[in-house]
Amino acid sequence: MNVKWIATPKRTREILEKHGFSFKRSLGQNFIIDVNILNNIMQKAGIDKRAGAIEIGPGIGALTEQLAVHADKVIAYEIDQRLLPILDDTLAAYDNIQVIHQDVLDADVNDMLKAYFKPDQPIHVVANLPYYITTPILMKLLRANLPVTSFTVMIQKEVAERMAAKPNRKSYGSLSIAIQYYTQAEVVMNVAKSAFMPPPNVDSSVLKLIRRESAPVQVDDEDYFFNMVQACFAQRRKTLRNNLISHFKSSADKETVSNILRKAGINEARRGESLTMEEFAVLANTFFRELEC
């Protein structure tokens, strides 16, 4: 192991002490201190010298450094101004990194990609995401239709399992459908708390999302589809019929809801966790055509 890598306990402590840095738990700051894990992430993400990489929350630059070594160019979004001079110091040896002081939720990522990467360059998001804001970040990037090939992200283990879950699993829900509508999702590795400084309060996993070229189902209206999915999981122990009666209480009576469920060919006594994405699409399209058209 190269003792100069940022991602070691000794080097991380030296950097923090040198700059007098203190962690802000409100920003979900947990820095990786195991370079072997970072090398595994590079392999899982498929990063090579042709690739462009986007990182969110670089911290003191442990993952950023490995991306700079393995990829062609790197863009890193950092919200904490205190980390900018630290990153200038720790990443001074690399000329292929662009650190942007901005909240990625407010950023026009597409414009930055056009300005920084080649038009035909494969682009990957690789990040140790702040756990408190994982879902909003991923959903913003997925719905923005960016020219990104894959997302390989370190997130809370429980959330990773929900995003990759299949029907009839306890972890399967509206988040599973939302993520898998845009991507193929797989948990590719788990990471111990001891790999971070400070150790987080939750277990972590690396989730890989491969962007789909097109949605796996045809829906008449995407927003309507996602709203229907959320309605079906509103109270997990309730049947589809009861959840949808509550959802449509201002626009359809109980009998109408039951009739549309029959028309969709879906048993009203089922629960949301038993439906495949294809069945949710049929359900949403049938309700949309009966009630909105």
Question: Residue 210 half-sphere exposure, CB side, CA atoms within 13 Å?
Answer: 9
Which residue is listed with tokens 């959802």?
A: 247
Burial class of residue 123 in the structure, from the number of CB atoms within 10 Å of its CB (0-12 exposed, 13-18 middle, 19+ buried): buried
CA distance 161 to 207: 9
C-alpha dihedral over 50, 109, 25, 58, to 10 degrees? Answer: 20
CA distances from 256 to 152, 193, 259 (A): 44, 51, 5
In degrees and rounded to multiples of 5, residue 234 shows phi and psi of: -55, -45
Give the chain's end-to-end CA distance (angstroms, integer): 63
Q: Is 185 helix (H, G, I), strand (E, B) or coil?
A: strand
Please indicate if the annotation marks 32 as binding a ligand: yes
CA distance 252 to 31: 51
Write the CB contacts of 219 (distance below 8 Å, at least 6 apart in sequence). Answer: 225, 281, 284, 285
Local structure of residue 80 (DSSP, 8 states): -
In degrees and rounded to multiples of 5, residue 231 shows phi and psi of: -60, -40
Please indicate if the annotation marks 2 as binding a ligand: no
Cα 78 from chain centre:
17
Please indicate if the annotation marks 128 as binding a ligand: yes
Please indicate if the annotation marks 46 as binding a ligand: no
Q: Is 53 helix (H, G, I), strand (E, B) or coil?
A: strand
Please indicate if the annotation marks 227 as binding a ligand: no
Please indicate if the annotation marks 30 as binding a ligand: yes
Residue ranges at the known binding site for S-adenosyl-L-methionine: 30, 32, 57, 78, 103, 128
Residue ranges at the known binding site: 30, 32, 57, 78, 103, 128
